[in-house]
Amino acid sequence: MTPFPTDLASVHTLPQLLAYRVASTPDSAAYRSYDPASAVWVTLTWAETAQHVNRWAHALSAMRLPTAARVAILLPNGIHAMCADQSVLAAGCVPVPLHAIDNAGSIAYILADCEASVLFVSTLAQWQSISATGTVFPALRAVIVTESGSEPAPPAPPAPLQGGPVVGSLAQWLAGAADAGTSHAREEPVADDLAAIVYTSGTTGKPKGVMLTHRNVVSDVKAVLDRIAPTVDDVFLSFLPLSHTFERTGGYYLPMAAGSCVAYARSVALLAEDLKTVRPTVLVSVPRIYERIHARLLEKLLPSPWKMRLYEAAQAKGWARFCAAQRLPAPQADPAPAGWAGALPWPVLRALVATPLMAQFGGRVRVAVSGGAPLSPTIARCFLGLGLPLVQGYGMTETSPVVAVNALDDNDPACVGKALPGIEVRIGDNRELQVRGDIVMKGYWKRPEDTAKIIQPDGWLGTGDQADIVNGRIYIRGRIKEIIVTSTGEKVPPGDLELALLADPLLEQAFVIGETRPFIACIAVVRRDEWQRLAADLGLNAHDAAHLNHPSVHRAVLARMEKNTATLARYAVPRAVHLTLEPWTVENTFMTPTLKLKRNNLNAHFAQVIEATYQRHAGR
């Protein structure tokens, strides 16, 4: 056993990171989670956290797994997920985090591909769904069920199910290791050993396993720490899945390095309530969460013209103040509405609009980070104008993941900030952003050809994103492979267009099409309450499915789309639309676990609709 690191500079692996934190602030709050049985939030100190992790690590070592054995973790965010991850790392094994709501077929593919030796699951039903896919798992030795009340029968001893791996409860597993006595000694990992295999979302095909080393992750944590600078007094609210590298680095290992407390949200559905209860000081989120909060805000304001006037005036004046403080170009024209609302001074608007909105986040957020996908200018202007200290970052799973992030005192929401310390960036062929540094992955699991396609021999990784770098600031312009090329030769980045369309509170989700077609069209999921309001305005029956795609509805929606895409090229404005009320989710295979559209799946599902849409508009 090596001595505990005495400073962060001496930390080179993730087990060392935990050891450093426990030794530095053993009695400080480490984790908070809600206990449904007692209906209270329970706090663990760092010393208590170490005790839990050591117990799990003892049990894992007793299994005598091969060196660098893969251990899959299919658990929701919480103490169990943290203990599983830390114990796997301490045992010299490799965590393979899985998304708790991913579909069984995808999970089965990953288990087989990474040759997992152990699987942690919440419930027996999860394992039964995975097993029912018929996939063969020759390397899988044990399935450990963590949720009480989901123990396999018979309760003891653990027994194989239908000739498969041994299946047992967490209590059985921990008790069995305690009865066995001394655990198997194992060498501690070194910096270049694998710290995780994280599977990419697979928007267009089978997911690939990204091999991240301890050096990759620890380097990124230290670099983010330099830019965001959380402290022992900060409280993070964890709600993004820990299978997402953005959450693993930014919402899990980063607070460990800083000594901050992490509170685990009960669920996304209860997020609004948890924000007010936990009152976090640091938020790590994807744009989708901010978009949902923005949509709910507009839903409440739209029925009241005077409240909407107040909101627009507060946002406009607040945005002008933000631009002035950040030395950004002033808005070209003051969009504040004329009349009484526009005449109100900022202190009044702040008290009436901004302060109540910030209270929805708990009232004491000092930095909110948005990453994982581009942040809509509409969303940025709203929250920054009303006082949320929101900074946009950029990264990808293959870079551990954070490459760049804005700072609170150097915050241009049109860009993703400057590269973090120790990370090189440059613009390559086809305006592709390239990255080099200790954060770049080791490669793709069992896919050397794919690794060679993305990482050059001199270490530069191609991100697949087009960008410009101006005075060190990185401006993302779109995905190289996702550019739609119409039959007229016009090039349209779908992500930018979809972001603009989603500024409309009517639209919950948007999917634009037009590859080799004469114009851009859009398929969109509408919000039920907003649809009912629009249907009433048009004199239609909101409960009649046929009315959802009535010509008058299409005309109204296309007019709204034209308004929200006024800053885009004319050829990028959708000329046809098809509406649906059925959301696209991970479960119905139209979204990835990181909430990105699965474009191939959507194209296949709506193939007839797409063909009919273009035939209907042929010749126009």
CATH code, domain with 18: 3.40.50.980
Q: Are 550 and 403 contained in the same domain?
A: no
Looking at per-residue pLDDT, the higher value among 117 and 291 belongs to 117
Per-residue pLDDT tens digits for 427-446: 999 999 999 999 999 999 99
Judge if 73 and 94 occupy the same domain: yes
Give pLDDT, residue 341. 86
Residue 154 has pLDDT above 50, yes or no: no
* Better-scored residue on pLDDT, 24 or 330: 24
Tell me the pLDDT of the chain averaged across its residues. Answer: 91
Residues 429 and 542 in one domain: no
Strands (E), 502-619: 507-513, 521-526, 576-580
Compute the average pLDDT of residues 193-216: 86
Number of domains in the chain: 3
Average pLDDT over residues 121-143: 95
Strands (E), 130-172: 142-145, 159-160, 166-169
pLDDT bracket for residue 480 (50, 70, 90): confident
Same domain, 253 and 276: no
Amino acid at 269: A
For residue 469, being part of any structural domain is answered with no
- Indicate whether 423 belongs to any domain: yes
Of the candidates 344, 342, 349, the one whose C-alpha atom is nearest the C-alpha of residue 318 is 349
| pLDDT tens digit sequence for 572-611 | 899 999 999 999 998 898 988 777 899 989 999 999 999 9
Residue 478 maps to a domain: no
Asked which of 407, 436, 455 is the last residue of a domain, the reply is 455
pLDDT of residue 594: 74
State the average pLDDT over residues 33-54: 96
Is 467 a member of any domain?
no
CATH code, 489: 3.30.300.30
User: What pLDDT is stored for residue 566 in this prediction?
Assistant: 78
Question: Are the beta carbons of 183 and 177 closer than 8 angstroms?
Answer: yes
The Cα–Cα gap between 254 and 220 comes to 9
Contact (Cβ atoms closer than 8 angstroms) between residue 578 and residue 572: no
pLDDT (0 to 100) of residue 412: 97
Core vs surface per residue 581-602: b (16+ CB within 10 A) or e: eeebebeebbbbbbbbbbbebb
List, in sequence order, every residue forming a beta bridge with 470; answer none if it has no partner.
Answer: 473
The verdict on 72 and 148 lying in the same domain is: yes
pLDDT value at residue 77 = 96
Q: Which residues fall within 8 angstroms of residue 266, CB to CB, at 6 or more apart? A: 34, 274
> Are 70 and 116 found together in one domain?
yes
Q: Which domain holds residue 532?
A: 484-616
pLDDT at 201: 63
Confidence at residue 616, expressed as pLDDT on a 0 to 100 scale? 85
Residues 135-154 have a mean pLDDT of: 81
Do 64 and 168 share a structural domain?
Answer: yes
Structural domain contains residue 396: yes
Quick check: 1 pLDDT over 50? no
Q: Is residue 451 located within the same domain as residue 494?
A: no
Is residue 438 domain-shared with residue 292, that is, in the same domain? yes
Question: Is 468 inside a domain boundary?
Answer: no
Q: What is the CATH number of the domain that holds 349?
A: 3.40.50.12780
Is 310 inside any structural domain? yes
* 167 is a domain residue: yes
Separation of alpha carbons 288 and 593, rounded Å: 13
> Is there a single domain that holds both residue 602 and residue 489?
yes
At 179, which helix (H) or strand (E)?
helix 170-180
Q: Which residues on adjacent β-strands are paired with residue 64?
A: none
> Are 447 and 382 in the same domain?
yes
Going by C-alpha positions, the residue among 58, 95, 93, 90 that lies closest to residue 73 is 95
Does 27 lie in the same domain as 167?
A: yes
